[in-house]
Amino acid sequence: MGPLTMFEQVEAAASAVRGRCGELPRTAIVLGSGLGDFADTLLDAVSTPYGDLPHWPASTVVGHAGRLVVGTVHGRRVAALAGRAHFYEGHDLSTVVFATRVMARLGVRELILTNAAGGINTSFAQGALMLIDDHINLLGSNPLVGPNDERFGARFPDMSEVYSRRLRGIANQVAAARGITLDHGVYAALHGPSYETPAEIRYLRAIGADAVGMSTVPEAIAARHMDVEVLGISCITNMAAGVLPQPLVHDEVMETARRVRGSFIALLEGIISAL
């Protein structure tokens, strides 16, 4: 027997999840750096370390616990993914989107992608939450590179509305009803892991980016490939390089994410209850 195809690996992980997580999730949420606490708010939860799921990539970053929690929020079954694989860890993008593919094969219809990001738009404050309207892929690659497996989706998927207008509408309504300020803008994804230079940030601003980070775009592309609806939320954990006269440090990213924990969790809960 030859090596398993990506499709077979995804199916193996999906059946492992089916075997242990009770009622299957309809919505999945990827929790970004420092935003993992939401996973602890789920009821009737089954928590599985990524290492216990076949073929699942391990997460090596501080602040990414690396567990799948399937549980209930306002009567709705959801999967919370605390920890994700990043391109900068050395994974192929096909590995980076493994979890996304498993979620889609489990029958998830909406994927909420969250991340920590640097603020390029100077009207943003540190700690702001930004709804992702659209993205710019500057990773230098794409998770769909290579032979296309039609069981996942079409060769040339449309990207004209990656971030669902319907889900953005719901997020805006929930934020307004709960008094949570929600900015919106374009997210640019870079390979990392070094942060950007001030010149790179000026370049990103010139091409229309409002926030910058090192994740989310691969998962969004793979989700659209599999016809899953996507919502993206960035926590602006810091102003991007050169905006303020100070260096960027990962600790600041984690600290800001923890500070907005309350409104972030309230926003997610509200969105899930409105789905």
Q: Which is nearer to ligand HPA, 71 or 213 (CB)?
A: 213
Q: Which is nearer to ligand HPA, 157 or 192 (CB)?
A: 192
Pairing of the two strands 110-119 and 76-82 = unpaired
Integer Cα distance of 37 and 52 in angstroms: 21
- 17: region left, alpha or beta (phi > 0 left; psi from -120 to 50 alpha): alpha
The residue behind tokens 């991007």 is 240
Q: Which is nearer to ligand HPA, 195 or 264 (CB)?
A: 195
Integer Cα distance of 63 and 250 in angstroms: 10
**Closest approach of ligand HPA to the CB of residue 198, in Å:** 11
**Closest approach of ligand HPA to the CB of residue 146, in Å:** 26
Integer Cα distance of 104 and 97 in angstroms: 11
Q: Which is nearer to ligand HPA, 27 or 237 (CB)?
A: 237
**Closest approach of ligand HPA to the CB of residue 196, in Å:** 6
Residues binding ligand HPA (CB under 6 A): 116-118, 195-196, 212-214, 237-238, 240, 248, 253
Torsion of CA 165, 114, 174, 179, to 10 degrees: -130
Q: Which is nearer to ligand HPA, 50 or 195 (CB)?
A: 195
Q: Which of 175, 172, 158, 170 is closest to 225 using CA atoms?
A: 158
**Closest approach of ligand HPA to the CB of residue 193, in Å:** 9
Residue type, 48: T
Q: Which is nearer to ligand HPA, 215 or 263 (CB)?
A: 215
**Closest approach of ligand HPA to the CB of residue 241, in Å:** 6
CB 135, CB 272: distance < 8 Å: no
**Closest approach of ligand HPA to the CB of residue 120, in Å:** 9
Q: Which is nearer to ligand HPA, 214 or 222 (CB)?
A: 214
CB atoms within 10 A of CB 155: 10
The residue behind tokens 């989310």 is 216
Integer Cα distance of 19 and 238 in angstroms: 41
- Label residue 181 exposed, middle or buried (CB < 10 Å: 0-12, 13-18, 19+): exposed
**Closest approach of ligand HPA to the CB of residue 235, in Å:** 8
